Amino acid sequence: MARRNRMILLSIILIIILGFSINNTTRWTAPSLESTNEVLNLNLTNFVDLRIGTENEGHIFPGACLPFGMVKVGLDTDFSKDFHAGYTVRGDVTGISRTYLTNIKVIRNLHVSGTGGEAKYGVISQLPIVASLSEINLSIIKSPRSFERFTPGYSIFGLKRYNITVELTATRRAALHQYTYPENASNNSHVIIDISHFLQQACAWCTGKFHDGAIYSVNNTQVKGMGRYSGGWNLGGPYKVYFCSQFDTPAIFYSTWWNFLITNTSFDVGADGHPIGAILTFDTKSTRVIRSRVGISFISATQACQNVESEIPNFDFIQIKREAIKAWERELEKIVVEGGDNEAKTIFYSSLYRTMLMPSDRTGENPKWESFDNNGKIIPHYDDFYALRQVDIVRSLIDIYKNEGYMPDGRSGLENGITQGGSNADMLLAETFIKNIDRNSEIDWSLAYQALLKDAEVDPWSRGLYEGRLFLNWYKKLGYIPTEVLTRMGYAFSQCSRTLEYAANDYAISLVAKGMNKKMDYVKYRNRSRNWENLWYPKEFQGFTGFILPRFSNGKFYTEWDIMDTYGGVTPFYEGTSWEYSFYVPHDIKKLIELSGGPIKFEERLDKTFDNSDPYRLYLNKYFNIGNEPSFLTPCLYHYIGKQWKSVKLIRDIMKTKFRSDRSGIPGNDDSGAMGSWYVFHAIGIFPNAGQDVYFINSPHFKNVTIKLSDSSDSILTILAYNLSPTNIYVQLARLNGKFWEKTWFKHSDIGNGGKLELWMGANVSETWGVGKHLIYPPSLSEEAVETGLPFISSIEPDLVVDEVLEKK
């Protein structure tokens, strides 16, 4: 299963109300509340199903937020394992029945979505309850669900124990809660604020922590406070979260509490790790509905209040909800698909939705520094990112470099980390550069270039798990990361996969250098991007020769390395096998084919990779794992041997079997929208080679796809698939911008200002399109090498004979 948060690149910015019941007998019935009866004239939001990926390690956050919103408010359950986004429907461990529904423990205002590794956040919690004040036991507050319904920008659910209906919606930096208490609750209606909550994990070293916090002030309509937390996903250091929770109705009683005891002191309850919070009591005899707006800030409690007061100027739940839903609708409308079945449309828009949950737009909320551009405008700041919103995110990455020394590969809770391979911000920068996506020249490219060179040249040493390229000096000295690092550190650490990724990063940098006319750098990094060849060894396995293998610094290979070892553990190959990674040379597939024994052998190897009958693949995903990024490109590699149709068939099979509209419909962690983006691209029939200027043409799932390419211009890309049907999946003929198009790929400049891709579909593989000797394959580095006559000589002559592994060990 995927545990990978690596940055995934999409070159077009990708970016709601389907009711459901958690169980047929507890089907949702709309409470007779004004706000839920509203009919919004919306279309695409209707296709987003937030249940998808809430089970089977998808780790999807189903709560309420804006696209890229900083505040993500949702219900968290009391099931303690692996609930990265706080929510789970039911238990899935031995002894707990699959239909057991977990309790709602709390409502929390900050979350991440789709992450692997460990949970993060789940902080600043608030829950309405009904009880007589003297009988409240603050340590055992939770409730079964009576119903729940999640839609983009809006959630509604019932707390069965208290007979309370909760509704949630959000703005970028604030959440609006609406609690409807039961008729007879009278003056037993409370709201409990708890700042000691966070998402816990079973492992002691990886779990988040609550250090301390404070309630600065409480009165009958407002509570201000702060919590200090650390750990979780990137094992990051402490960060403070401030909040300002305001109520539309004056409380009849309010107090702080400390260690679950209502202290009845109002101010500054220090914590020292003890749970602390506040309690407000309302008399709901005359008004059953209590609204609370909660502002969040990473700067100060005062700013948290300002955030909430400016974004939610009154307590108009209907209005804020409507704006949130509309914000989603606007983003989803950037890609309109027609002419496909509703199931496909549901998976499509749900996937598209998930690509916009993260990163979190924290512009104006960076406590470490504040940056302004030449026009005096604040530079955008994003956190929790492992995925995209191109120009703004690139600016944020560069700004982080400027202030902290490296661009993040992943970042959360104000800190860089964890790296899983290369310095993959390089890929995003390069792609933005070569595709000329920064149309308004908002990016400081000379600073960006410095950031790239820092990644390529400066070994981050002990910080290598958090930023830059771990073991970079080895890579620079030898052209690969040697296996000794394994023995010296006592365990392996992705030496092979890091080498492969560094080479791909170097290629990306070379493209930027080329575009900036920095010839020496271009030659240097282009040359360095061939370093992957240093780990290629002609080992034979299952009839195939040539694999990426671990290698010692003396040049000898660890030839006994098991090509299928080992999934999930800490090995020279991060979350993958040598078999999988021996395809990961996105910039020089031509050379890869050559080293693999030529096109015929390469095709056989690809076929083997996707052969369903092989037990390795079926049960262990050892040849190919769609649930993880290293394999993302592999299905498109048939394009490099003139067999586009094989990619088409295969991708359709993967989409059909691995992506569904049920709760476990995502293969592995969603990885902050990465799985979603893989699906979205393939559903519209194209797929980018990340970090390069290449889009493969595959086979759309919709007859008519309309993509708005930018917010600021009218450029539209239309993809039309004539004659498309469940059986007519193969491209017979293509036309791009009115011209017949022979290639099975195109460049961004072909569509960057808008364009029209027309495909004629048929049931049989075309004998004329996408095949034949004349066909121009997508570009590869080694073609260019021939053109420029630049040499590549490995600094070490491999000794193919000796194998001293055991000795070394």
Ligand X SMILES: *[C@@H]1O[C@H](CO)[C@@H](O)[C@H](O)[C@H]1NC(C)=O
| Chain position carrying tokens 């096998």 | 577
Q: Which residues, including other chains, have CB under 8 Å from residue 608's CB and lie 6 or more apart?
A: 542, 544, 614, 623
Is 26 one of the binding residues for ligand X (CB under 6 A)? yes
Nearer to ligand X, 400 or 511 (CB): 511
Q: How far is the CB of 788 from ligand X (least distance, A)?
A: 10
Is 566 one of the binding residues for ligand X (CB under 6 A)? no
Backbone angles phi, psi at 402, to 5 degrees: -60, -40
Q: How far is the CB of 632 from ligand X (least distance, A)?
A: 28
Is 188 one of the binding residues for ligand X (CB under 6 A)? yes
Is 727 one of the binding residues for ligand X (CB under 6 A)? no
Is 553 one of the binding residues for ligand X (CB under 6 A)? no
Whether the CB-CB separation of 679 and 659 falls below 8 Å is answered with yes
The one among 45, 146, 292, 669 contacting ligand X by CB under 6 A: 146
Q: How far is the CB of 526 from ligand X (least distance, A)?
A: 8
- Choose one: 20-28, 46-54, 419-427, 564-572; the region binding ligand X (CB under 6 A): 20-28
Nearer to ligand X, 112 or 648 (CB): 648
Three-state DSSP class for 220? coil
Residue 569 CB neighbours (<10 A): 10
- First-to-last alpha carbon distance for the chain, in angstroms, is 29
Is 302 one of the binding residues for ligand X (CB under 6 A)? no
Bridge partners, 262 (sequence order): 257
Is 187 one of the binding residues for ligand X (CB under 6 A)? yes
Q: How far is the CB of 673 from ligand X (least distance, A)?
A: 22
Q: How far is the CB of 732 from ligand X (least distance, A)?
A: 9
Is 171 one of the binding residues for ligand X (CB under 6 A)? no
Is 555 one of the binding residues for ligand X (CB under 6 A)? no
Q: Residue 186: left (phi > 0), alpha (psi -120 to 50), or beta?
A: left
**What would the x/- binding string for ligand X be over residues 434 to 463, using CB under 6 A?**
------------------------------
The one among 165, 495, 510, 732 contacting ligand X by CB under 6 A: 165
Footprint on residues 32-71 left by ligand X (CB under 6 A): 41, 43
Alpha helices in 742-803 (DSSP H): 748-751, 781-788
Q: Work out whether strand 123-130 and strand 189-194 pair parallel, antiparallel, or are unpaired.
A: antiparallel
Nearest to 654 by CA among 672, 673, 628: 628
Is 524 one of the binding residues for ligand X (CB under 6 A)? yes
Three-state DSSP class for 8? coil
Residue 205 CB neighbours (<10 A): 8
User: Within a 13 Å sphere around the CA of 38, how many CA atoms are in the beta-carbon half?
Assistant: 16
Nearer to ligand X, 221 or 737 (CB): 221
Nearest to 236 by CA among 423, 411, 455: 411
- Choose one: 156-164, 441-449, 566-574, 610-618; the region binding ligand X (CB under 6 A): 156-164
- Choose one: 134-142, 369-377, 465-473, 661-669; the region binding ligand X (CB under 6 A): 134-142
Alpha helices in 46-175 (DSSP H): none
Nearest to 428 by CA among 409, 456, 454, 400: 409
Nearer to ligand X, 320 or 337 (CB): 337
**What would the x/- binding string for ligand X be over residues 234 to 273, using CB under 6 A?**
------------------xx----------x---------
Whether the CB-CB separation of 321 and 36 falls below 8 Å is answered with no
Nearer to ligand X, 282 or 624 (CB): 282
Is 24 one of the binding residues for ligand X (CB under 6 A)? yes
Q: CA-CA distance, 654 to 683, in Å (whole number)?
A: 11
40 burial (CB, 10 Å; 0-12 / 13-18 / 19+) is middle
The one among 220, 266, 302, 319 contacting ligand X by CB under 6 A: 220
The one among 287, 319, 450, 704 contacting ligand X by CB under 6 A: 704
- Residue whose Cβ sits closest to ligand X: 158
Nearer to ligand X, 145 or 381 (CB): 145
Q: Is the dihedral of CA 152, 158, 159, 164 positive or negative?
A: positive
Nearest to 756 by CA among 719, 721, 722, 731: 719
Query: Could you say which DSSP state residue 180 is in?
Result: E
Amino acid at site 216: Y
Q: Which segments of 298-407 are extended strands (E)?
A: 335-338, 360-361, 382-383
- Choose one: 177-185, 421-429, 449-457, 675-683; the region binding ligand X (CB under 6 A): 177-185
Footprint on residues 320-379 left by ligand X (CB under 6 A): 333, 336, 338
Q: CA-CA distance, 804 to 510, in Å (whole number)?
A: 36
Q: Work out whether strand 239-247 and strand 276-282 pair parallel, antiparallel, or are unpaired.
A: unpaired
Whether the CB-CB separation of 212 and 270 falls below 8 Å is answered with yes
**What would the x/- binding string for ligand X be over residues 754 to 793, using CB under 6 A?**
--------xxx-------------------------x-xx
Is 314 one of the binding residues for ligand X (CB under 6 A)? no
Is 706 one of the binding residues for ligand X (CB under 6 A)? yes
Q: CA-CA distance, 723 to 732, in Å (whole number)?
A: 10
Nearer to ligand X, 140 or 204 (CB): 140
**Residue count at the site for ligand X (CB under 6 A)?**
47
Residues in contact with ligand X by CB under 6 A are 23-26, 41, 43, 99, 130, 137, 139-140, 146, 158, 160, 163-165, 182, 184-185, 187-188, 219-222, 252-253, 264, 333, 336, 338, 479, 523-524, 527, 704, 706, 720, 762-764, 790, 792-795
